[in-house]
């Protein structure tokens, strides 16, 4: 197992409280074992989410200082827009305070009650925003996604045969858009191949259906393509990113993931009519189109973060902790097996604690390392 060191210097630290086992048991009991009800100051190792928890770089901190807070025409927006379009060359870029706001605006404009939105797997906020419009979210991930012990390189892929069959069944008019989530967050962060992105676009194009990408972890997905897909080993990550988005008609993005910031997001798209309607809704609910619910300093930080997230030394380091856990937990005699998927590994809690029923384990999904899927999925279905 290769040792990976951080490809950066740590210039600032924050003290945390060292809790005892008894204290942690008491805190968990007082929160009724709901991880979201814990006070963060009582958490020693926080694996609740990686969303918005990134430490900003020295260059991001410096960029914050030149944030222009003008209500309209801010140069901070110009730098933000240029950074987005460098990687995701769509005609229109609409800033939002985070990804779920971009989803709400898109589905409010693009979908109608009774229609369907297919996806490899909808993330929970995406699913909720689709359903809020009276539209039906449909998950069509490849079957191997459900086999935790398999080593498939792209287990987040869209099932192309099922997508074609679904569109034929409901009719193209009932599918206002199709989505691909990169990486496939709700399916354990598994990546999607370039071949699958192209194939999904081909199906959509034949039926006149726009393809949108949920781009939250686009850089990570691009790096998996570089590592695992034939023909991409010598292609720079930036070029892989641009190719991924060249097959789409738009994207939603939470910058709290691969924007490496604490707040922000955007909706990007090519359709002029949809963009005009989305911009009008943005003004009603988020803000003027050149800030969209964000401060100028947030836009500056995102612009720098987008340049830094495609650094391949950083991406190599980022994939190392889950890979390490997967190797350790898969050794002979280990009570668990795990499969790495970028920001996480997939483990089955029942192998740590054998019991008669999976849903007796109140497991919660945890990012950046360990996602306990089997038991939490069973518990959810039992409820």
The band of 242, judged by pLDDT with boundaries at 50, 70 and 90, is: very high
Distance, in Å, from the CA atom of 366 to the CA atom of 343, rounded to the nearest integer, reads: 10
Q: Which residue has the tokens 């192998």?
A: 351
All domains of the chain in start order, with CATH: 20-49 (no CATH), 58-309 (3.40.640.10)
* Contact indicator for 116, 122 with CB cutoff of 8 Å: no
Per DSSP, the residues of 185-250 read: GGGTTB---HHHHHHHHHHHHHTT--EEEE-TTHHHHHHHHHHHSTT-TTS-HHHHHHHHHHT-SE
Contacts of 117 (CB under 8 A, 6+ apart): 107, 111, 130, 135, 136, 137, 138, 175, 176, 177, 178, 179
CB 240 within 8 A of CB 270: no
- Strand order of the sheet with strand 344-347? 338-341, 344-347, 370-372
pLDDT confidence of residue 357: 55
Average pLDDT over residues 34-60: 85
Place of tokens 């994207």: 251
| Alpha carbon of residue 376 to chain centroid | 20
pTM of the shown model: 0.85
Could you report the per-residue pLDDT of 366-379, keeping only the tens digit for each?
Answer: 433 333 333 333 33
**Phi and psi, residue 361, nearest 5°:** -95, 115
Comparing 254-268, 277-291, 315-329, the range with the smallest average pLDDT is 315-329
């Amino acid at each position: 197992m290769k040792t990976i060191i951080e490809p950066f210097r740590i210039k600032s630290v924050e003290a945390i409280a060292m809790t005892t086992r008894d204290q942690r048991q008491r805190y968990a009991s007082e929160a009724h074992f709901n991880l979201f009800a814990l006070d963060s100051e009582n958490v020693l190792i926080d694996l609740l989410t990686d969303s918005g928890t990134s430490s900003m770089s020295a260059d991001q901190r410096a960029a914050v200082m030149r944030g222009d807070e003008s209500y309209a025409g801010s140069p901070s927006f110009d730098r933000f827009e240029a950074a987005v379009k460098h990687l995701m060359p769509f005609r229109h870029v609409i800033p939002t305070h985070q990804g779920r706001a971009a989803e709400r605006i898109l589905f409010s404009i693009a979908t109608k009650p009774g229609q369907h939105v297919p996806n490899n797997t909808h993330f929970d906020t995406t699913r909720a925003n689709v359903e809020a419009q009276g539209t039906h979210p449909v998950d069509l991930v490849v079957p191997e996604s459900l086999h935790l012990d398999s080593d498939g390189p792209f287990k987040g892929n869209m099932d192309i045969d099922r997508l074609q069959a679904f569109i034929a069944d409901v009719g193209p008019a009932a599918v206002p858009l199709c989505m691909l989530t990169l990486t496939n967050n709700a399916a354990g962060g598994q990546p999607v191949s370039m071949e699958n992105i192209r194939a999904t676009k081909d199906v959509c194009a034949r039926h006149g259906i726009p393809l949108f990408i949920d781009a939250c972890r686009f850089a990570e997905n691009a790096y998996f393509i570089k590592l695992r897909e034939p023909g991409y080993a010598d292609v720079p990550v930036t070029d892989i990113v641009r190719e991924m988005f060249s097959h789409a008609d738009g994207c939603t993005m939470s910058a709290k993931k691969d924007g490496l910031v604490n707040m922000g997001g955007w909706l990007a798209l090519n359709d002029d009519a949809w963009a005009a309607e989305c911009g009008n809704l943005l003004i009603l609910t988020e803000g003027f189109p050149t800030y969209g619910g964000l401060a100028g300093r947030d836009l500056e930080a995102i612009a720098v973060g987008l340049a830094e997230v495609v650094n391949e030394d950083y991406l190599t380091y980022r994939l190392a902790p889950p890979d390490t856990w997967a190797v350790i937990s898969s050794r002979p005699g280990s009570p668990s097996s795990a499969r790495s998927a970028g920001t996480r590994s997939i483990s089955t809690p029942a192998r740590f604690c054998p019991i008669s029923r999976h849903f007796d384990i109140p497991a919660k999904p945890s990012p950046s390392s360990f996602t306990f899927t089997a038991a939490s999925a069973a518990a959810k279905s039992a409820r």
